[in-house]
């Protein structure tokens, strides 16, 4: 059976005698000969390979250096490791300096390391890890530090190469989603030794000009070496000090750069970044229309409810006013009737009517009696006797009159005194009667004035009740939504139709709808100030 180990060896396929003639040696002797040969190669050597199988024990490092053709065990002692600038890491390509050593006991050849240094890629990984640990300790990756993106920016800044597919994809996607969006391009090198400074300078220029509200840093992917500028401190610091929110879109990659970690938003592709930064205008318009309809329905329902409340309140006020005024009106009518019944004018009118009725009856009775007497006398023929009787009576009367005139002439002084006394008495009685009449008239006037005061009191109460009712009506009208809106106020709702009463109920970039006294506005929140 042919053994692959011996292929090409001149001793391959030798007869048994050949091997028996060589003689044999012990394992120890073979190990000593190997060690002697290795010992002849005393100068240090430098080996380049990839670290794998790294283990630590008591401060010692045990690992394997390998390439595509071979592998070699390496030992790094605990006494040497602390003095080194770099330590081995799995997967890193390193330069390891030291000497070969053979262990006869284990029959194992290993490389004893005395110096370790990464090559270019390894150095990049080491620097990246050190910077990442430093930034993490400073809190650069905290989510609380990241800024929200504006809902609808007035302009978008693009920091990328001025030519190529990246800027074309960004512009086409943004214009498709929102044709009116302003796009500002800040050209920068995104690969090579000048890329870090160029991108950092473009970011600083965006913030100085302040023409945009969000910045997109983009490139079309690449290898670890191609993307390494985005792991350097200049770009990281430029993103951290930016006043504008920064979105990174560095292409499909399995490794996240430090720029991705400190950016406010990370996207894998430029197209994804454009979709994230700029809203879809058609969808936004549809959302606003739905919000407007919801707000109109809500305001209509609110207005109808307020109108019903005002109407019900007005009806209740009318019923309460009627219930409160009706007893008072009834009492006032009763008082008016009582005052009318006991007023002096009414009493005099009743007395005068009674006297006229009595006089009329007496006149009719006297007329009837006289007519009856005359008729009776005429029937008996006694009229002549009546005439003679009246003539005798007339003569007697004339005689008596003359006699009394004489007596009067004799007693004139005494009669005058009596008449004077009588006249004085009559004058006093007349004055008393006049005073009574005046007092009665004054009482009548006072009664009329009292009635006028009562009427005025009733009128005042009615006026105050009407005024209070009018004030209530105006107050209810002032509470209506239309009246509030007409004084310059507005009603603001979010996208779900909920009325906003506090700035904490919304967020920057959120769509809102504002209803005014005439018409409504569709808006978006730029900044929240609780």
Does the structure show a pLDDT above 50 at 438? no
pLDDT digits (tens, 9 = 90+) for 443-455: 554 555 555 665 5
pLDDT at 352: 66
Pairing status of strand 182-187 against strand 155-160: parallel
Contact 244, 232 (CB under 8 A): no
As a whole number of angstroms, the distance between CA 276 and CA 260 comes to: 15
What burial letters (b/e) apply to 272-287, b meaning 16+ CB within 10 Å? ebbbbbbbeeeebeee
Contact 530, 308 (CB under 8 A): no
The DSSP result for 133-197, as a single string, is HHHHHHTTT-GGGPPPPPSS-SEEEEEE-SSSHHHHHHHHHHHHH-TT-EEEEEE---SSTTHHH
Contact 485, 491 (CB under 8 A): yes
Pairing status of strand 71-76 against strand 108-118: parallel
Give the tokens for residue 312.
């019900």
pLDDT at 381: 55
Angle in degrees, CA 341, 346, 352, rounded to 5: 140
Give the predicted TM-score (pTM) of the model: 0.43
Residue 61: name the closest of 45, 74, 44, 48 by CA.
74
Rounded to an integer, the average pLDDT of 428-450 is 53
State the pLDDT confidence band at 181, using cuts at 50, 70 and 90: very high
pLDDT digits (tens, 9 = 90+) for 211-239: 999 999 999 888 877 888 999 999 999 99
Q: Which residues pair with 94 in a beta bridge?
A: 49, 118
Q: Is 30 helix (H, G, I), strand (E, B) or coil?
A: helix
Percent of the chain whose pLDDT exceeds 90: 30
As a whole number of angstroms, the distance between CA 459 and CA 185 comes to: 82
Residue ranges of domains in the chain, CATH in brackets: 10-118 (2.40.50.140), 126-279 (3.40.50.280)
pLDDT at 193: 80
pLDDT at 185: 96
Rounded to an integer, the average pLDDT of 319-334 is 80
pLDDT digits (tens, 9 = 90+) for 271-305: 999 999 999 999 989 989 999 999 999 998 988 88
Residue 206: name the closest of 185, 177, 226 by CA.
185
Helix axes 281-342, 344-380, angle to 10 degrees: 40
pLDDT at 3: 44
State the pLDDT confidence band at 171, using cuts at 50, 70 and 90: very high
Does the structure show a pLDDT above 60 at 162? yes
The region that residue 65 occupies, defined by phi over 0 for left and psi between -120 and 50 for alpha, beta otherwise, is beta
pLDDT at 394: 57
As a whole number of angstroms, the distance between CA 277 and CA 267 comes to: 10
As a whole number of angstroms, the distance between CA 349 and CA 361 comes to: 18
Dihedral angle over CA of 314, 319, 320, 326, nearest 10: 140
Does the structure show a pLDDT above 90 at 74? yes
What percent helix, strand, coil does the chain show, rounded to 5? 60, 15, 25
Give, in order, the Cα–Cα distances in Å from 459 to each of 91, 319, 455, 469.
105, 19, 6, 15
Does the structure show a pLDDT above 80 at 383? no
Q: Strands of 520-524's sheet, edge to edge?
A: 491-494, 511-515, 520-524
pLDDT digits (tens, 9 = 90+) for 462-493: 667 667 666 666 665 665 666 667 778 788 88
State the pLDDT confidence band at 44, using cuts at 50, 70 and 90: confident
Q: Which residue has the higher pLDDT, 186 or 100?
A: 186
As a whole number of angstroms, the distance between CA 272 and CA 270 comes to: 5
Question: How far from the centroid of its chain's Cα atoms is residue 482's Cα?
Answer: 20
pLDDT, averaged across the chain? 79
Residue 297: name the closest of 505, 520, 507, 489 by CA.
520
As a whole number of angstroms, the distance between CA 77 and CA 59 comes to: 7
Residue 113: name the closest of 95, 93, 89 by CA.
95
Rg of the chain (C-alpha set): 65
Residues 6+ apart with CB under 8 A from 450: 339
Does the structure show a pLDDT above 80 at 506? yes
State the pLDDT confidence band at 413, using cuts at 50, 70 and 90: very low
State the pLDDT confidence band at 420, using cuts at 50, 70 and 90: very low
Does the structure show a pLDDT above 60 at 199? yes
Rounded to an integer, the average pLDDT of 332-342 is 72
Tokens 């004058």 map to which residue? 427
State the pLDDT confidence band at 264, using cuts at 50, 70 and 90: very high
pLDDT at 353: 78
pLDDT digits (tens, 9 = 90+) for 82-119: 888 778 888 888 888 898 888 777 788 888 999 887 76
pLDDT at 53: 93
Residue 94: name the closest of 62, 128, 67 by CA.
67
Residues 6+ apart with CB under 8 A from 391: none
Contact 159, 263 (CB under 8 A): no
Does the structure show a pLDDT above 60 at 256? yes
As a whole number of angstroms, the distance between CA 295 and CA 298 comes to: 5
As a whole number of angstroms, the distance between CA 509 and CA 147 comes to: 12
Does the structure show a pLDDT above 50 at 412? no
State the pLDDT confidence band at 377, using cuts at 50, 70 and 90: low
Residue 277: name the closest of 216, 188, 186 by CA.
216
As a whole number of angstroms, the distance between CA 42 and CA 503 comes to: 78
Does the structure show a pLDDT above 50 at 209? yes
Pairing status of strand 214-218 against strand 155-160: parallel
């Amino acid at each position: 059976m042919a053994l692959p180990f011996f292929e090409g060896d001149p001793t391959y396929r030798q007869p048994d005698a050949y091997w028996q003639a060589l003689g044999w040696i012990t394992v120890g002797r073979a190990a000593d000969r190997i060690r002697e040969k290795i010992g002849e190669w005393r100068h240090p050597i430098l080996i380049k390979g990839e670290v794998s199988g790294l283990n630590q024990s008591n401060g010692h490092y045990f690992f394997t250096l390998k390439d595509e053709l071979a592998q070699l065990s390496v030992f790094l002692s605990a006494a040497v490791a602390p003095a080194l600038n770099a330590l081995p890491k799995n997967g890193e390509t390193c330069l390891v300096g030291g000497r070969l050593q053979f262990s006869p006991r284990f029959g194992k050849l290993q490389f004893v390391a005395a110096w370790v240094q990464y090559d270019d890629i390894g150095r990049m990984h080491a620097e990246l890890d050190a910077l990442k640990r430093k930034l993490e300790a400073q809190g650069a990756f905290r989510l609380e530090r990241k800024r929200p993106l504006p809902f609808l920016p007035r302009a978008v800044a693009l920091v990328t190469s001025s030519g190529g597919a990246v800027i074309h994809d960004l512009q086409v996607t943004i214009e498709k989603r929102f044709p009116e969006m302003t796009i500002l391009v800040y050209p920068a090198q995104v690969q090579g030794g000048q890329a870090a400074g160029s991108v950092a300078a473009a970011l600083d220029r965006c913030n100085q000009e302040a023409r945009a509200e969000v910045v997109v840093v983009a490139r079309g992917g690449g290898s670890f070496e191609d993307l390494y500028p985005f792991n350097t401190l200049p770009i990281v610091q430029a993103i951290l000090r930016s006043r504008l929110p920064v979105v990174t879109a560095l292409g499909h990659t399995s490794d996240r750069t430090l720029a991705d970690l400190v950016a406010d938003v990370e996207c894998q592709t430029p197209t994804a970044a454009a979709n994230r930064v700029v809203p879809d205008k058609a969808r936004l318009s549809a959302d606003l229309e739905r919000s407007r309809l919801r707000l109109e329905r809500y305001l209509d329902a609110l207005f109808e409810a307020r109108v019903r409340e005002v109407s019900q309140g007005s009806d209740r006020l009318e019923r309460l006013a009627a219930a409160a005024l009706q007893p008072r009106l009834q009492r006032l009518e009763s008082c008016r009737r009582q005052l009318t019944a006991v007023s002096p004018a009414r009493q005099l009118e009743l007395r005068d009517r009674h006297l006229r009725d009595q006089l009329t009856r007496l006149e009719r009775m006297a007329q009837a009696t006289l007519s009856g007497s005359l008729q009776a006398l005429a029937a008996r023929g006694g009229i002549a006797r009546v005439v003679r009787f009246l003539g005798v009576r007339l003569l007697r009367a004339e005689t008596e009159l003359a006699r009394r005139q004489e007596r009067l002439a004799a007693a004139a002084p005494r009669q005058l005194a009596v008449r004077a006394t009588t006249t004085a008495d009559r004058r006093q009685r007349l004055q008393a009667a006049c005073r009574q009449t005046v007092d009665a008239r004054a009482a009548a006037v006072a009664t009329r004035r009292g009635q006028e005061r009562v009427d005025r009191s009733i009128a005042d109460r009615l006026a105050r009740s009407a005024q209070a009712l009018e004030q209530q009506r105006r107050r209810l009208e002032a509470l209506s939504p239309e009246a509030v809106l007409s004084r310059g106020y507005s009603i603001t709702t979010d996208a779900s139709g909920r009325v906003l009463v506090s700035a904490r109920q919304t967020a920057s970039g959120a769509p809102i709808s504002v209803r005014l006294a005439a018409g409504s506005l569709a808006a978006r929140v730029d900044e929240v100030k609780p």
